[in-house]
Structure 1
Amino acid sequence: MFSLPVTEIFSSIQGEGPYVGVRQIFLRLPNCNLTCPYCDTETNIPLQFRMETVPGSRHFNKLNNPVSLEKLLELLLQTYDFSLHHSLSVTGGEPLLWANELQVLLPLLREKRLKIYLETNGTLPDQLLQVLPWVDVISMDIKLPFGGQAFWDVHEPFLRYGLQKEVFVKIVVNTETTPQDLKDARDLIARVDSSIVTILQPVTKTHDIITPKPYQLLEWQNLFLEKLINVRVIPQTHVFMGQL
């Protein structure tokens, strides 16, 4: 059976997007195909991953990487009561870099009546198709251009594929975000489906990247509402709740 490197596994409260407040099991996977300037997550493959001893306790054991999918399923079943959790958040890094492994693991979890919530940067449409049959909710980032890179050409097919499931879009914004980048993002979403829930997520201050001013958020929300139906401004609530 396949094996999979893991960063960490824990139970916590979802802090982003329209599912803020629900209880989830978080399966964080390493590696990422992007280097976003505001990223605060370690993406290297650790020699060992950490897993809670008791759900929500923040007490962790260290286990060796990679772990077989059979053993990973056993650990999840032994540690968590799936009925108390809305879903399993498969996050990263970029989890779709492990699409071959996930298309084996996710059906096993779905058999146990655990919903799958995929958190992704929305740049790997072919890999999304590999796992799409076993995903319930897609939390897709639209990455605004940075470092001379733009992702519109992969974001649009990714979002179109995502319409086969429940999908929403998150866009991280900071005080230097440009109206033109936001218009491009808005127009892309509108071309696909103007009813897609769209979240403007003010960046949590990191390095020299500053949270937008209140007036900017209002102006940008107005900009999106010119073409989209459901646009919300939601910060990273887990940060000020003190959750992982």
Structure 2
Amino acid sequence: MQENIIEIFSSIQGEGKYVGCRQVFVRLEGCNLDCAYCDTENETGRHPHCMVEEGAGSYNLVPYENPLTPERTAALIARAAAGVPHHALSITGGEPLLHAPFIRALAAHVHLPIFIETNGTLDEALAACIDCVSFISMDLKLPGAIARPVWDEHARFLRVACAKDVYVKVVVAAETADADIETAAHLVADIAPETLFILQPVTPYGGCTAPAPERLLTMQRLALSILPDVRVIPQTHRMMDLL
């Protein structure tokens, strides 16, 4: 089993519940969605080499030829993490659950807990590897950002994910409708009401505009009328210009 990997590096988790924690990041190719605000180049087959940070925090990126086996990937993860304790191994993309068998194989060769950053639509893929996953960062995609609504996919996914340490992250823009915030909050409340619900103001890209401060507070008020734990957390790694 082999996969193309875009990059492996050590940095700070910049989003969500575990913001500020030191993690190793593995970025996989490909995605099943096409979000308007996505700023990550993850097209399948476009990465003949995996860029690996040689030494945690060094920013010294060295190319290794793709594709990589789980065993080789684990060795490169150890190289990127060397000398620094890390909270977890964050597997991201793209959509990492397009590669669930690889994630399962990789987990057998690493000692860090597995943290999945996912768009929250591939419930069967999650079920296939959930026993080796510790943390799930689940995006909940609003209709304004994608070609078609995926509410049903999100509901099925959360029913599987709530067996683990999961939080839900909703990227919001100036254009985000109140009704979409309420629908998202009710979806979570109906399935796993104690789940942390995070509103993440969009980092402007692809024509999306960041919401004004008063708009963010309105969105949070709406969600708090439905759920007990709603937080506003931006992409902090963008503020600090981190990998």
Please, what TM-score do these two structures have when normalized by structure 2? 0.95
Q: Give how far 1:208 is off.
A: 2.0
Partner of 1:69 in structure 2?
70
Name the CA distance, whole Å, in 2 between partners of 1:148 and 1:28: 24
Matched, 1:135 2:136: no
Distance change >3 Å, CA 83–CA 133, structure 1 → 2: farther
Unaligned runs of 5+ in 1: none
Question: SS at the partner of 1:108?
Answer: coil
Query: Once the 2 structures are TM-superposed, how far is the Cα of residue 232 of structure 1 from its aligned partner?
Result: 0.1
Q: Deviations 1:5-34 (Å, cap 9, x if unpaired)?
A: 101000000100111111000001110001
- State the alpha-carbon separation in 2 of the partners of residues 47 and 83 from structure 1: 29
Instruction: Tell me, in whole angstroms, the C-alpha distance in 2 between the residues paired with 1:164 and 1:43.
Output: 29
Q: Which residue of 2 aligns with 1:26?
A: 25
Name the residue aligned to 1:118.
Answer: 116
Give the Å deviation of 1:107.
2.6
What RMSD over aligned residues (CA atoms) do the two structures have, in Å? 1.3
Distance 2:81 2:204 in 1: 33
Question: What is the letter of the counterpart of residue 232 of structure 2?
Answer: V
Task: Give yes or no for the alignment of 1:240 onto 2:242.
Answer: no
In the TM superposition, what is the alpha-carbon distance from 1:82 to its structure 2 partner?
7.8
Do the aligned partners of 2:55 and 2:82 also contact (CA within 8 Å) in 1? no
In the alignment, is residue 150 of structure 1 matched against residue 178 of structure 2?
A: no
How far apart, in 2, do the equivalents of 1:236 and 1:63 lie? 29
Looking at structure 2, the residues matched to 168 and 220 of structure 1 have their Cα atoms a distance apart, in angstroms, of 18
1:149-228 → structure 2 map (5 Å cutoff):
149-228=148-227
Q: Identity rate of aligned residues, in percent? A: 44
Distance 1:131 1:82, change over 3 A: farther
Task: Determine the C-alpha separation between the residues in 2 that align with 1:178 and 1:126.
Answer: 30
Q: Identify which range, 183-192 or 71-80, moves more after superposition.
A: 71-80
What displacement does 1:194 show? 1.6
Instruction: Provide the rounded CA distance (Å) in 2 between the counterparts of 1:28 and 1:148.
Output: 24
Partners of 1:167 and 1:69 lie apart in 2 by 25
Task: Label 1:154 to 1:61 Cα distance change in 2 as closer, same or farther (>3 A).
Answer: same
Report the more deviating stretch, 79-88 or 67-76: 79-88
Shift of 1:54: 1.7
Pairing 1:12-23 to 2, within 5 Å after superposition: 12-23=11-22
Q: Tell me what 1:41 maps to.
A: 40
